[in-house]
Amino acid sequence: MYSSYQYKKKASRRRLRFVLFLLLLIGIPVGIEFLTRLVAQATGTSDRFTANPTSDIVNSYHLRFVSREGQPYAGLPNDGKLNAVRDPLLGYRLVGNQQSSFWQINDSGFRDEEAVPSTKAAGEIRIFVLGGSTAFGQLSSNNQTTFASKLETRLNDQVAQQRANPSQFQPSALPFRADQVQAALALPPRIRDGQYRVVNAAVPGYASGNELAMLTQRIAAYNPDFVVVVGGYADLMLPSTDRGSDVPGLEQYLTGGSQSLRAQLSEQTQDWFNQLYVVQGIRRYGLQRQQTEPRLAEPLNLYAPTIESTLRDRLPVNQADLEQRLERYGRHVRQMVNWAAANQKRLIIGIEPEISTRRPEALTPEESAILAELDNAYLEQMRIGFAELATIAKQASQQSANAQVLDFYPIYENFAGQAFQSPIGLTDEAYTLMSDRLYEAISSQVALQPQPYGF
């Protein structure tokens, strides 16, 4: 029989072996992780483990819903960088005074570097842009590459050219001789002189109901001269029972159906695990052939009734459901047209572009990869839905001479180069085409007609 001393000694050895085994179990992966980081830093390859440009820009544009105190809601998606707060009138709105490497939001929650005074300065022509992800400039590299910013630059450049070289534009009064009149009218028309200010008040994920609320509840107070509303896609995806987009997963959260504490801890642990250099190195090099590409068509800031909803889940379930969604869009657009007529404001209704119009011969490899993830049912639904949206918008615009429609849906059919980064997210170069079309529409409405000789 063992004595008490021998028993304690043996138990102590067992504990020591267990502790050594535990330290070895922890120490080996920690040592490998430390060595991997050391080698990565010594060879200058750290950025391969820490930098992921695609992930960075997507996360930067992904909405992160927070309380009025700036705290994220437990159980709701909170991995994005673009902070938004729930609003009882608008559904939600962007938090003011925030910025990232890709965007800057002013104190009013608009995508702008400067504040927008409520009182319009003398000589200022204000143009407000409303809409969802496309209007906001989702996935654009910075504020200046959005179509709103490019439009502002183009309008102010023409004013500067008119002031510097007045002879290159139509005169304010026509000359006496007929041959001189013909030559004068052949020159480019001048536009109204002043400071053009284009304010990007779009919010990712907004549908027509949110845009209508934004117009009447906030934008009207800024006394805009023009309002440009670009949308349509979110309305096709928004359940017909909803008036507008709201915080995704909010109903689950309020009814107690949000993630459990265990699920949240599991998700956080997984995020930490994925950041390890060893894990990223194995995925990048060891499993490179087996790894699939990230889903390029994954919805970004698209309203979802549940957090787990997929793109297919958002499509209308039948023709009746589609018609209800279209009717809702038409009702909201007609209200915007009525507002513009009553307040003598210019309204441009834009039908946003979408990748289903791209011709096969114009597709880039990146766009082909996006389309490969979209099935025929989705593509057919888009073609039918967008054609109906354009018809409804044109019918609504006929109620007032102050309104017009620009159908951007088909403009990238033959675009040279990559136009889309996602089903509705455009490249910086593609936004230029939208700004050109808007410039043509707005400049024609602010063009100055030369007065006849002697007037």
Tell me the three-class secondary structure of the chain, residue by residue. Answer: CCCHHHHHHHHHHHHHHHHHHHHHHHHHHHHHHHHHHHHHHHCCCCHHHHCCHHHHHHHHHCEEEECCCCCECCCCCCCCCEEEEEECCCEEEECCCEECCCCEECCCCCECCCCCCCCCCCCEEEEEEEECHHHHCCCCCCHHHCHHHHHHHHHHHHHHHHHHCHHHCCCCECCCCHHHHHHHHCCCCCECCCEEEEEECCCCCCCHHHHHHHHHHCHHHHCCCEEEEEECHHHHHCCCCCCCCCCCCHHHHHCCCCCCHHHHHHHHHHHHHHCCHHHHHHHHHHCCCCCCCCCCCCCCCCCCCCCCCCHHHHCCCCHHHHHHHHHHHHHHHHHHHHHHHHHCCEEEEEECCCHHHCCHHHCCHHHHHHHHCCCHHHHHHHHHHHHHHHHHHHHHHCCCCCEEEEECCCCCCCCCCCCECCCCCECHHHHHHHHHHHHHHHHHHCECCCECCCC
Residue keyed to tokens 């969604």: 325
Residue 295 has a pLDDT of 54
Residue 277 has a pLDDT of 55
The residue length of the chain stands at 455
Residue keyed to tokens 């052949």: 186
- Residue 158 CB neighbour total at 10 angstroms: 20
Residue 411 has a pLDDT of 97
d(CA 69, CA 46): 36
| Beta-carbon contacts of residue 255 (< 8 Å; ≥ 6 apart) | none
Residue 452 has a pLDDT of 85
Residue keyed to tokens 């995508």: 111
d(CA 98, CA 96): 6
**pLDDT < 50 stretches in the chain:** 47-53, 258-261, 263-268, 287-294
Structure tokens that stand for 144 in this block: 């200046």
Residue 15 has a pLDDT of 73
| Beta-carbon contacts of residue 157 (< 8 Å; ≥ 6 apart) | none
Closest to 232 in 3D by CA, of 66, 353, 138: 353
To the question of pTM greater than 0.85 for the whole model, the response is no
Residue 50 has a pLDDT of 45
